[in-house]
């Protein structure tokens, strides 16, 4: 696979970050985490991409890159990015949204999904 998953996060607790980490761990999906409260460039990126400091913001990136492999679908100004599939980016997804997004991008195999795991956050 010539792409990687990058999760923009923060060091303080957040239910959406915990949920994303649980899904990624349960499916053994490798990812790189960047903390927007420690990296001002990352903070500015998330603000630019989402209009807010919304975490987790997960992106599909090329290996050794922190940027989406292609531009995410734009958001209308002031629109919450929560759970919106933006192609190469998803922000604050629930379990179902994240799982479907990971399947679409080839990080999880659909035949390995346990339906009892599917719960909305």
For the entire predicted model, the pTM comes to: 0.90
3-class SS of residue 57: strand
Class of CATH domain 3-117: alpha beta
Contacts of 54 (CB under 8 A, 6+ apart): 46, 80, 81, 82, 91, 92
Amino acid 13: pLDDT:
84
> How many secondary structure helices (H) and strands (E) does the chain include?
3, 4
Amino acid 46: pLDDT:
98
Amino acid 121: pLDDT:
39
| Average pLDDT, 10 consecutive residues per value, the chain (121 residues) | 94 95 97 98 97 97 96 93 97 98 95 52 39
Amino acid 111: pLDDT:
79
Amino acid 74: pLDDT:
94
Structure tokens at 63: 């290996």
Report the alpha-carbon distance of residue 105 to residue 72 in Å, rounded: 14
Report the alpha-carbon distance of residue 13 to residue 113 in Å, rounded: 27
Amino acid 112: pLDDT:
58
Task: Tabulate helix, strand, coil % of the chain (nearest 5).
Answer: 30, 20, 50
């Amino acid at each position: 696979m010539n792409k990687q998953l990058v999760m923009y996060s923060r060091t303080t607790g957040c239910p959406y970050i915990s949920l994303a980490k649980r899904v990624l761990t349960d499916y053994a999906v490798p990812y790189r985490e960047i903390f927007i409260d420690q990296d001002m460039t990352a903070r500015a990126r998330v603000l630019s991409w989402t209009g807010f400091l919304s975490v987790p913001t997960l992106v599909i990136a090329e290996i050794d890159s922190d940027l989406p492999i292609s531009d995410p679908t734009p958001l209308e100004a002031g629109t919450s990015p929560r759970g919106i599939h933006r192609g190469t980016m998803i922000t604050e997804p629930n379990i179902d949204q994240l799982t479907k997004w990971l399947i679409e991008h080839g990080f999880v195999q659909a035949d390995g999904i346990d339906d009892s795991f599917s719960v909305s956050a």
